[in-house]
Amino acid sequence: MNNFYFGVVEDRNDPLKVGRVRVRVHQLHTDNKSNIATPDLPWSQVILPTTSAGLSGFGHGHGLVEGTTVYGMFRDSEHLDFVVMGVGIGISQSGYKENEKGEIVNRSVDKGFNDPRRDTKTSYNNSVDGLNSGTDSKRPNELTLALDTSPQLPKELKIDYEGKGSTITELDASDKLKYNTSTNTSSNAVVSNDGTPVEQKGDQKPYYPLEDYYDESDLNRFARGGGTYGSRDDLPVTVKLHQPNKSILTSGATKPERVGLYPFNKVHFTESGHMIEMDDSVGAERLSVSHRSGTFYEIHQDGSEVHRVVNNNYTVICKDDEVYIGGKCNVRILGDATVDIDGKAEIHSDKDMKLTSSENISIEAGKTLDLVAKEVKLNS
């Protein structure tokens, strides 16, 4: 008897916080939540790779989300103790199954094998996944994780190089909550002037899979060589760069134009928009860590390093610090600057040194001011 099955994760908010998930298993469970709702699914253990110790806080957890297709087996003959052993990646579509007529059935939070999360926790009230619902008046538990407390990609990101920093526009309710359209043909249907039914808002679509990834590989676009670092339209986040004057930044302070190639770019992309890349593509070997705000750190294929901080930056060194620069050094500051030194200070140059100001220069000494030179010129 086959004991291995595919299923879909519908809940990851494990009350024991040991990484268990609720899985609706194909061939065993129905998508009709009146028969078994998401809160009634048993918790399943997730087997982690041996790179994670899984003990005393060492290692890492899994990355499963609501809507992830998983593969595993049952440890018991009653098919109640499911163990997740891996993830099945594919091409997500707007529908999640075919009906008896071969028609694609739209995804819905009210149907099993889908991400069941609603906009807020109170949205589960009077729903099939709510506490003591109409389908199960004795159920003591309900779904607790909703979209308003779940991470999401930013809607828009604006980066300003002239002191304003990064501004993130988050998704609002209209962005998070998508609905299927339904054509009502009943006697009270809304019709157009020619008598045809008008599409109306139907049931709520699941948040995952993202609509932006329908009908394409679920592997991250940057891993497939399809990302664009210039505009980052494919995150999917629109990044607007207020381009600075050329004297402010060097041309190297941007993402590289060369994109990694499949299957050599290993990408870890998170729900809120963080990304880590380890790119082994020939001619584009890179290491990159990007924050959802636009701050990133990257080592290019030639060993050059780029570090962009879109808001405040703080560096604390608890002992000595030495900096060696083999070539030129340019520092451009658009605002005020202060250097406060508690000990002695010395500036030395083997060649000419020039101190200029478009306005006033003040030199103040608490004790003696010594000027030593072979020749002193004072020009007004």
pLDDT digits (tens, 9 = 90+) for 42-57: 999 999 999 999 999 9
Q: Using only the alpha carbons of the chain, give its radius of gyration.
A: 29
Q: Which residue has the higher pLDDT, 252 or 92?
A: 92
pLDDT, average across residues 177-201? 51
Query: What are the structure tokens assigned to 328, written together?
Result: 């030129």
What is the tens place of the pLDDT at every residue in 61-92?
999 999 999 999 999 989 999 999 999 999 99
Amino acid 198: pLDDT: 38
Give me the residue label for tokens 């891996």.
86
72-78 long-range Cβ contacts below 8 angstroms, 24+ apart: 72/4, 72/5, 72/7, 72/23, 72/44, 72/47, 73/3, 73/4, 73/5, 74/3, 74/5
Amino acid 200: pLDDT: 44
Percent of the chain with pLDDT over 70: 84
Whether 196 has a pLDDT exceeding 90, the answer reads: no
With cut-offs at 50, 70 and 90, classify the pLDDT of residue 235. very low
Whether 354 has a pLDDT exceeding 60, the answer reads: yes
Whether 194 has a pLDDT exceeding 70, the answer reads: no
What is the tens place of the pLDDT at every residue in 126-157?
888 987 655 555 666 788 899 999 999 998 88
- Residue ranges of domains in the chain, CATH in brackets: 1-150 (2.40.50.260), 156-212 (no CATH)
Pairwise CA distance, residues 39 & 15, whole Å: 12
With cut-offs at 50, 70 and 90, classify the pLDDT of residue 189. very low
With cut-offs at 50, 70 and 90, classify the pLDDT of residue 182. low
113, 106 contact by CB (below 8 A): no
pLDDT, average across residues 348-355? 93
What pairs with residue 79 in β-bridges? none
pLDDT, average across residues 246-259? 50
Query: What are the structure tokens assigned to 93, written together?
Result: 């579509």
Whether 159 has a pLDDT exceeding 90, the answer reads: no
> Please, what is the average pLDDT of the chain?
85
Residue 184 C-beta-side C-alpha neighbours within 13 Å: 13
3-state secondary structure of 322: coil
